[in-house]
Amino acid sequence: MKPLALTSGEPAGIGPDICLQLAADAQQFPTVVLGDPTLFAERADTLNLSIKIRTWVPGEPAALGGHELTLLPITAPEVVVPGVLEPGNARYVLALLDSALNGIQRGEFSGMVTAPVQKSVINDAGIAFSGHTEYLQAHAGVDDVVMLLASDKLMVALVTTHLPLSAVSAAITPEKLQRICRIMHHDLQYSFGIGQPRILVCGLNPHAGENGHLGREEIEVITPTLDALRAEGLNLIGPLPADTLFTTRVLTQGDAVLAMYHDQGLPVLKHQGFGNAVNITLGLPFVRTSVDHGTALDLSGTGQADTGSLRTALDYAQKMVEARSAQSA
C-alpha cells in the first residue's frame, strides 16, 4: 500500500501535536505527515517527545509510529506560537492540502487524512475558504460530495450540512436526495466493501410527518424519491422517524443512516463516539478522512490533546484504500 498523506492542519493548533503523539505510540501507520520541519522539531521538544523525524523521499516506505515520523517538508513563512493564530501562515495551510492532492494525482499517496484547520484565520488572510470539504470538492471537480461521520458502531451521512433550519426543507429536493443516495450507496460498496448496503433514511419532520399531519415533505418529496431509487436496486429503508431510528433494534437493520440535516444525526453519533469518530467525504475520486474535532488552540503544546479521532481517521482511511483496491482487483 502506498502511504497515506496526513496534512497537519493549522500550525498553531493541535494538529502537529496529535501527529507527534501518534508517532510516539507503538502502532505504525504507513503515513507521510506534511508540515514544517522546524515546527515539528520545536513542538516535539515542547511536548518532551523523542521522535525521529525523517524526510520522505517519494517511492520509499513511510511510517508514523514507533517513535518515528516521516515528514514531507513544507515551510511555514511565519514563526509558529502554539495557540496563537497567524494569518501569514494561511497559505502554508493550503499548501499542505495542495501537496497532498498533487501527490495523490501523481500516484504517490493512496489517500489523504486531514488534521483540523482554522477557517477564520484563512479568511482573515483574505483567502475565501469555507472548509476542507469544499476545497477538495472543487479540486476534484465533482458536483456533489456527502459528509459521513463514523464511529466503531455507527455511520451517519447528511443530506444537508451547514444550513440554518429555516433553509433545510427547501434544500431537500428530489434531485439532491437522489444524488446523495446514489453516492452513499456507491461508496458503501466501493470504499467499505458492503455488497448490498442497507441505508436507514430519516424523515424530516417529527414522526416522519405522521401521514401529512406534521408536514408534507415525506409525502411529496422523500418517499417518492426513495421509491424511485428502490426501483434502481438501492436498499433504502424509510423514511423513518428519527427519534426511534436511533435505537439498537432499528440500527441493527441497516449498515448506515442518512439524516436530513446536521443536528438530526450528528448529536447522536457524537454522543456515542466523540473523540473516536471520523469525518469521511464520500463522492471524491480518492479516499479522504478527517478528525471530528477542531484546532483546540487552548490545548496546543500542552500534551493534553486526544489522539483518538486521528487514530480512527487513519484506520478508516487505510481500510477504505484496501477495500477500493479489492474492488478494483
Residue 131 reports pLDDT greater than 90: no
Q: What are the extents of the domains in the chain?
A: 1-142+284-329, 143-283
**pTM for this prediction:** 0.93
Determine whether the annotation assigns residue 186 to a binding site.
no
Binding residue per annotation — 271? no
143-283 fold: Isopropylmalate Dehydrogenase (3.40.718)
pLDDT at residue 55, as a whole number: 98
Model confidence at 274, pLDDT cuts 50, 70, 90, reads confident
Residue 270 counted as an annotated binding residue: yes
Query: Is 252's pLDDT higher than 80?
Result: yes
> Do the domains 143-283 and 1-142+284-329 match in fold?
yes
Segment 219-236, tens digit of pLDDT: 999 999 999 999 999 999
Q: How far apart are CA 148 and CA 137, in angstroms?
A: 14
In percent, the amount of the chain with pLDDT more than 90 equals 91
Mean pLDDT for the chain overall: 95
Mean per-residue pLDDT, 317-322: 96
Residue 132 labelled as part of a binding site = yes
Give the DSSP letter of residue 209.
G
Among the four given CATH numbers 3.40.718.10, 2.70.98.50, 3.90.1170.20, 3.40.190.80, the one describing domain 1-142+284-329 = 3.40.718.10
Percent share of the chain, pLDDT over 70? 100
Q: Mind giving me the DSSP string for 48-96?
A: T---EEEE--TTS---EETTEEEEEE---SS--BTTB--GGGHHHHHHH
pLDDT over threshold 80, residue 33: yes
Residue whose C-alpha is closest to residue 202's, from 189, 186, 215, 188: 215
Q: Annotated binding residue at 139?
A: no
Q: Please state the rounded mean pLDDT for residues 191-201.
A: 96
